[in-house]
Amino acid sequence: MLGSHRGSRLAAALTSVLLLFGAATACGSEDGSSDTAGSTAGASADSAFPVTLTHKYGSTTIESEPKRIVTVGLTDQDAVLALGKVPVGTTEWLGGYKGAIGPWAADKLGSAAVPTVLKDTGTGPSAEKIAALRPDLILAVYSGLTKAQYDTLSKFAPVVAQPKEYNDFGVPWQDQTEIIGKALGQEAKAKELVTGVETDFKTAASEHPEFAGKTGLMATPYEGIFVFGSQDPRSRVLTNLGFKLPTDLDKVIGDEFGANISKERTDLLNTDAIVWIVADTTKDKATLRKDALYADLKVAKEDREVFVKESSDYGNSVSFVSVLSLPYMLERLVPQLSAAIDGKTDTKVTEPTS
C-alpha cells in the first residue's frame, strides 16, 4: 500500500489507498475487455441462496448466485478466482497486471475473458464504469469504502463492504476469503482454501522454530519511515509465522493500518528481523544506512534486514496478502527471514531468483 522514494509505484499505491475511497465517487479510466468475463468454473450454487452478509454499513442480501462480479476491494479478485469464478471487473492496485491478476493467480483465469480493469485516480470507485459492467454483485471487502460510495454503488447491485470489526484495509485474508465465499454461495469451499493456506503457515513455523517469539516488523521508506501496524495484513504474515510485533507499535501509529514514525521512535525498528519494502534493494539499503539513528541499531549492524523490491512479482505478493498470493510469497520470504535471524552476522540474506 505504499512506497519509497521519488514517486515510486508503491508510494503512489499508498496515496491511492489513503485516498481511494475518501471522496465521493468519480469517473476513472478503464482498460481490458469485455462483457464475456465472469464465467464460473464450478457448478451452480443456487441452493446456498439467498444469503445475507453483515458489514460496516449494515447488511446485504444476495438473492441468487452472482454471475457478473465487480471487485472494488483491491485484492478481492484473488478470493473470487480461487473459488472458480472470474470477475467482469477488477480494481487495479499494484503491478499493472493484465486484468489486475497477479502471476500467482493467472492460471485461475482459464479460458475466461480477462476482466475489465478499473483505474482509480484517488477519488473513489467509478460509479459510471462499474454500472456499465452490469454487475449483479460488487465486492469491497479489502477496501475503505465510504457510506456515500456504498449507497451509490448499491443502486446498481448488492454491495458487500468491508467488515466493521477491522480498520479499513485491515480485514484478515482469512475473513476476506470466507466473506467472499459466503457471497458466492461457496462457504465450505472458502473454509477449505483458508485451511490449506493456514497449513502452509503452520508448516513454515514448525520448520523454523527460531521464528517463535522473535520480534519482527514490516516497513517502507516512504516520506521518512512508514511502519505497518498489527491490523495490516502484512504484519499478520509475520505474526502467523511466530514473530511478535514491537510492543508500542499500535500505540504509536494509532487506529490505522500503518503510519510514519518520528525520529524519536526509531527504536521501533530495532527488531530481530525487519522486512523493508523498497524501490531499489541496493540503493535504498544504502540510503537507510546513512541515517545515523538507524545505522546504530542492532538490526542494521547485524544485517538482520530483508529487502524486498516493491515492483517485483515477489514484492507485489508481499503487499497483496491474499489466499492465492500467500503460498507464492512464503516460498520466497521464509528463507530470507531464516537467514536474517540465524544468529550469524556473516549470513547474507539473498534475494529470490524469481
Q: What is the pLDDT of residue 46?
A: 67
| pTM recorded for the entire structure | 0.84
User: Each residue of 122-138: pLDDT tens digit?
Assistant: 788 999 999 999 999 99
Q: How far is CA 276 from CA 3, 273, 297, 306, in A?
A: 10, 10, 15, 6
**Residue 19, pLDDT above cutoff 80:** no
Q: What is the pLDDT of residue 348?
A: 85
Answer for the pair 51, 185: CB distance below 8 angstroms, yes or no: yes
Q: What is the pLDDT of residue 254?
A: 86
DSSP per-residue letters across 149-191: HHHHHTTTS-EE---TTS-TT---HHHHHHHHHHHTT-HHHHH
**Residue 109, pLDDT above cutoff 70:** yes
Place of cell 453483515: 54
**Contacts of residue 263, Cβ cutoff 8 Å, sequence gap at least 6:** 293
User: Each residue of 22-50: pLDDT tens digit?
Assistant: 433 333 334 444 444 444 444 445 688 99
In this prediction, what percent of the chain has a pLDDT beyond 70? 87
Q: What is the pLDDT of residue 324?
A: 98
State the cell numbers at 230: 498489527
**Residue 306, pLDDT above cutoff 80:** yes
User: Each residue of 173-200: pLDDT tens digit?
Assistant: 999 999 999 999 999 999 999 999 999 9
User: Each residue of 220-232: pLDDT tens digit?
Assistant: 998 899 999 998 9
- Is the pLDDT higher at 319 or at 41? 319
Query: How far apart are alpha carbons 148 and 119 in whole angstroms?
Result: 20
Give the number of other Cβ atoms within 10 Å of residue 64's Cβ.
Answer: 15
Q: What is the pLDDT of residue 26?
A: 34
Mean pLDDT, range 97-105, rounded to an integer: 96
Q: What is the pLDDT of residue 119?
A: 84
**Residue 9, pLDDT above cutoff 50:** no
Q: What is the pLDDT of residue 354?
A: 74
Answer for the pair 173, 328: CB distance below 8 angstroms, yes or no: no
**Mean pLDDT across the chain:** 88
CA angle, 247 as apex, 173 and 330 as ends, to 5°?
Answer: 35
User: Each residue of 232-257: pLDDT tens digit?
Assistant: 999 999 999 999 999 999 999 888 88
